[in-house]
Structure 1
């Protein structure tokens, strides 16, 4: 009887342990260049201050929630140009062009390293990001 109880306990323990490993294995462990899910803004009723945010503040939050900071910094070149360098090169007239560059990716404007496309990004959110970047003009 003891052997049967011990056997059942062992089988249950093994089954439980294996199920946890499978769940952990499903989570990605390596870095990829694919676009992360686009960050969403908080629901208007959830936060009264959300409606008081400027487009630049919304753009900054979107950048912080996306993968942008893995290649760009505000004040120094990383893989891509700093946001301040981008702001110095472009004007408000370039917002649509730059938003399209964020979505479609591109290369050549800042060297040989291409910017990865962010196809899941909405044009509206890309424009908010550009507005934030252009606000960093010195």
Structure 2
């Protein structure tokens, strides 16, 4: 009889231990529910960067003269960003005619036609253009 009681006690303990583990969720029909894995968050995009790209490619008409890696009429954006960073200068200030051309002064007269567009922009829009262009550095 003692042997049966000991066996029963060991059996009960074993069942208790196995049932105390991780509980699995089930749906209304008893089917196991898979745990939701965390979805990797999409990288956030700086709103000024996105706005700057929109302006650069749109109403700023910048793409008529500037490309990312290639000099067209004006210098490549990558070259502009590099020089402005090295000199600690502000593109936003330049496109508002508050500072002199530092990348290619010989193109200043050509660029003057666009100052009508850029000066009509808000300070935030000019800053957005600067953020976008500096992202190429």
TM-score (norm 1): 0.53
Residue 68 of structure 1 pairs with residue 67 of structure 2: no
Runs of 4 or more, structure 1, over 3 Å off, are 105-109
Tell me the equivalent position of 2:74. 80
For residue 91 of structure 2, the aligned residue among 77, 98, 103 is: 98
Q: Distance in 2 between matches of 1:87 and 1:108?
A: 11
* Contact 1:75 1:84 (C-alpha < 8 Å) held by counterparts: yes
Tell me the equivalent position of 1:121. 121
The one-character-per-residue Cα deviations of 1:49-94 (angstroms, maximum 9, x if unpaired) are xxx6412122111111121111111110111111000111122953
* Contact 2:94 2:101 (C-alpha < 8 Å) held by counterparts: no
Q: Matched residue of 2:96: which SS? A: helix
Larger-Rg structure? 2
Q: Which runs of 5+ in 2 are unaligned?
A: 1-43
Q: CA deviation at 1:107?
A: 4.2
Q: Distance in 1 between matches of 2:67 and 2:79?
A: 10
Q: CA RMSD in A?
A: 2.3
Number of residue pairs aligned between Structure 1 and Structure 2: 84
When residues 98 and 88 of structure 1 are mapped into structure 2, their CA distance, relative to the original with a 3 A threshold, is same
Q: Distance in 2 between matches of 1:100 and 1:119?
A: 10
TM-score (norm 2): 0.53
When residues 108 and 58 of structure 1 are mapped into structure 2, their CA distance, relative to the original with a 3 A threshold, is closer
